[in-house]
Amino acid sequence: MYQYILKSLKVGFWILAPLLFISNAEVVVPAELVDNAGGNYYFSAEGAKEGSLQGKVLFGTSTESNNEGASLSSLSLVFFNQEATDPHSIKILISRRNQLQPFKIGKYKVTENIEGFLNSFEGVFGYVNMNALSERPFFSNKGSVIVRQHTKNDLRGTINVAFVGDNGERMLIKGDFHAVRGH
């Protein structure tokens, strides 16, 4: 009896398996279930570094008030790849003054002349560290970050930011990211 059941299951499997492969059915996985363990990004780099950059990305948000009573909301994005032959890290900080509300979907432009962080700047600031280029970071110069989707634990968007090193070398990094809450 046991052999008959086992043989029936095998025959049934071999009849159904080819139908699944040729049926053109598409399995749709909800976006919130994809790579929820660490987020990901795929960027292209031009200039001082040519090629693609990819890895994990985490985001965090905070809201606070300074001594003068002005409120400040900030969103930080940390992109990193320590497993590659060319390790790198990118950090982007988006800040808004007089806001106690969570970040909204929209386009945030790079702040070109930040005089100091003590005065709670408004806009986007970022830097890139790449072992292959030098020990000195590249700082954001121009560009923007677009937040396309933002929930409590999920953030999706695009960056298109030019970075400049202290020796004048330039690097443009652009591409899409899917960040998950991590800090």
| pLDDT tens string 58-109 | 999 888 776 677 777 889 999 998 776 778 899 999 988 776 666 788 999 9
Residue-wise pLDDT tens digits, 127-147: 999 877 777 899 999 999 999
CA distance 67 to 97: 13
170, 101 in Cβ contact below 8 A?
Answer: no
User: Token pair for residue 171?
Assistant: 């690097």
pLDDT score recorded for residue 101: 66
Helices (H) and strands (E) in the chain, counts: 1, 9
CA distance 90 to 109: 17
Residue that wins the pLDDT comparison between 121 and 167: 167
Residue-wise pLDDT tens digits, 162-175: 999 888 899 999 99
